[in-house]
Amino acid sequence: MTTDPGDRGHLAERARLLADSAGTGRDRRTALARLTDHWLTGLHRTAGAPARTALVAVGGYGRGELSPRSDLDVLLLHDGPLDPEVAERIWYPVWDSGIALDHAVRTPAEARQVAAEDLKAALGLLDARHLAGDGQLTAGLRTQVLADWRAAAPARLPELRALGRARAERHGELSFLLEPDLKESRGGLRDLAALDAIAASWLADAPRDGLDAAARTLADVRDALHLSTGRATERLALQDHDQVAEQLGVPDADTLLRRVYEAARTVAYASDVTWRAVDRVLAARTRRGRLFRGARRGTPVERRPLAEGVVEQDGEAVLAPAARPATDPVLPLRAAAAAAQAGLPIAHATVRRLAAETGPLPVPWPDEARDRLVGLLGAGEACLPVWEALDTEGLIARLLPDWERVRCRPQRNAVHCWTVDRHLIETAVRAAALTRRTARPDLLLVAALLHDLGKGLPGDHSEAGEAIVRELAARMGFDRADTDTLALLVRHHLTLVDTATRRDPDDPATADLIAKTVGDRTHLELLHALTEADATATGPAAWSAWRASLVDQLVDRTAARLAGAPRPPATGTPTAEQERLAVEAARTGGPALALRAELDADGTESVGVELTLAVPDRPGLLGTVAGLLAVHRLTVRKAVLRELDPAGAGPVLLISWTVAAEYGDVPETARLRADLRRALDGSLDVARRLAERDAAAPRRPGIRTPPPVVTVAPGTASHSATVLEVRAHDAPGLLHRIGRALDAAGVRVRTAQVSTLGAEAVDAFYLTTEDGRPLEPERAQQVAQAVRDALKTG
């Protein structure tokens, strides 16, 4: 079909409007809707539509705004016979223009029937707006649809809520995602439409403060996303962040995300408050058959005391009639702690009143204020909605001056699931479950809340955080000893897990290092619990049964050191099984191996598979064996190497690996043995196989891979070996390339600690000379350079 000159004119005017940098935001969306209205009105007029028809905009278009790539949701309404060609004469020019069209042709009765059966259709009709034709037909339908919606609201609103929850399950929370869906994620544009639908039911309305600004922010970002990508996408992908930020004129991608996150939190909080109001109304209707609780004159309002000045009413914590926020600066923390400990949300009106009337806490804080903060944090999961309410109204930033810097701050790391501020409160939630493991649960909970406050400042965030926490702890009224403890915990909140995964647990220097750092058993217990809470609150990739077992082992050995008790026996002495394998390898001249599951400390969960391998010693073994494991997609978590000479039959290299399958099961022993024989005799080219797979493996989209870092640790890291640390983007055969470089350098690997966090590998290798001595400094740097070169070319 040939494009009509009028259609070409519309497209030209549309292109001009979208290219006009002077018109942006809501004004442009409104102008685009009006331009489209004029075009569709003309199409309706020239289509020969009979008198009793109307063209109606519904859904987002019905709200009178259009984003650059938005669909046109249009209903052709008719009351009587309608020639199908009439609709086609309207739809075809739209299709020819390339603009997405969602259309329907229905009578008013049909439209009401569809709305009664399809919630999404009902939501679209709530925003019905007349475009052309018989205005009374549109007005009649709108009146009927609204009446139907209000009459059926007690049944439809729970359905709407379930739809929103299912959407949040699929798309996550907009406030925390690095690649959020601006429309479907929780706190996005769909939730704004749901709030309008609730308001249309007349049962409840959302708190409007900041909501319109949040809606504009999300819509503006979507507009910029459409224009910068040229696609009708709602997903703010990593590779689009910079372009969208530039389109909006914001300084950088992080600023863009923070604005999106702040807007989404406003929407999500408004949704929570509104749905609680809906619940109260529907519960009151169910109980007494009338709309509002206490509507009958003289019926007393039921209240239950929770704390001084705080009561429970209608399932929320509210201020008691006698409460005086202006003269009670501890009241916000008292109300919050009481609400969380009772498992209740704190009422929106209560939080707003506290924010408006309560003065600042005196410095240092009264003991009650500190105790209430600990009580709030100790409530675990129940703390979250209360904390979010206080945060939304700015009360947290008043309590913690450094909070604003980390609030809504994105973490561009695949390991992290949360923004910095949400990670802090999630850490406190997880620490609440560990308070029985320490004699000072208050310090544990406060350290969990504050441990990452140094993020966003120059330098190491742990060092910056230590300085912040010293000042803040004094402000909060902690004494000098407790302030020192909090500072130690913040400064060293990564030390346990870093040491456990990068140092040899059998080396006495490892436990000595931690003992010197913590100083006593109380600090060790606190740091242990904080380490676990921090890691589990980071994301699934940051903690595992295997990682927990390494930390537990290190803590046990350090505790024994601090107590003056003997260390647990070293694992350096070969077991009977290892000696048997060594004898077999010496006798046959080939590899001997055994597999067994390695369990956690409770013996209930597998933390990997222990692969014990004995091979007559020869150059290049580490690289070859590591490569073979990579070919079988086995992740190496730990490697321990030692040389034996069973019965004087010749040197045998004994290598104990802890491995786990990337997916599926670990290969059978016979298959591994056969492939190892082939790798050793050269019939299986491990390097070629890995190179082919490495070339075929795609990089993660949108993430820039930093160059590898290879360093020699200070001599205090170990008294008996040189520690080489490698940090690199994980890739197939990474350990194989490192092993080949070390083999080629002619050094022995006594122990290797290998760990992977998300897509990043963090490894440590304990190296010695052939006669078992640490490397000379110059030699160590040469080996480090050889590994760097291998990773550059790998």
> How confident is the chain (794 residues) per 10-residue block, as mean pLDDT?
66 87 85 94 91 94 92 93 91 92 94 95 95 95 96 95 94 91 95 95 90 96 94 92 93 94 96 94 74 48 83 92 93 93 92 95 90 88 94 95 93 83 94 83 93 92 95 95 96 93 85 92 94 90 83 92 56 75 84 73 57 78 83 75 70 77 72 84 84 61 61 80 82 81 86 61 82 90 94 75
Q: Is 754 within 8 Å of 735 (Cβ atoms)?
A: yes
Give me the pLDDT at residue 568, please: 41
DSSP-assigned beta bridge partners for residue 729: 760
3-state helix, strand, coil in the chain (%, to 5): 55, 15, 30
Give me the pLDDT at residue 694, please: 66
Q: Is 751 within 8 Å of 506 (Cβ atoms)?
A: yes
Cis peptide before 364 (omega within 30 of 0): yes
Q: Is 387 within 8 Å of 397 (Cβ atoms)?
A: no
Give me the pLDDT at residue 265, please: 96
DSSP-assigned beta bridge partners for residue 76: 55, 105
Distances in Å between the alpha carbon of 671 and those of 111, 160, 465, 678, 685? 65, 55, 51, 11, 16
**Residues for the chain: how many in total?**
794
Q: Is 58 within 8 Å of 127 (Cβ atoms)?
A: yes
Q: How far apart are CA 578 and CA 188, in angstroms?
A: 59
| Token pair in block for residue 240 | 């689009």
Give me the pLDDT at residue 696, please: 64
Q: Is 109 within 8 Å of 163 (Cβ atoms)?
A: no
**What is the 3-class SS of 387-456, one letter each residue?**
HHHHHHCCHHHHHCCCHHHHCCCCCCCCCCCCCHHHHHHHHHHHHHCCHHHCCCHHHHHHHHHHCCCCCC
**Short-list 777, 493, 501, 482, CA closest to 638:** 501
DSSP-assigned beta bridge partners for residue 711: 725
Q: How far apart are CA 197 and CA 150, in angstroms?
A: 10
Q: Is 614 within 8 Å of 652 (Cβ atoms)?
A: yes
Q: Which amino acid is at 791?
A: L
Q: Is 580 within 8 Å of 644 (Cβ atoms)?
A: no
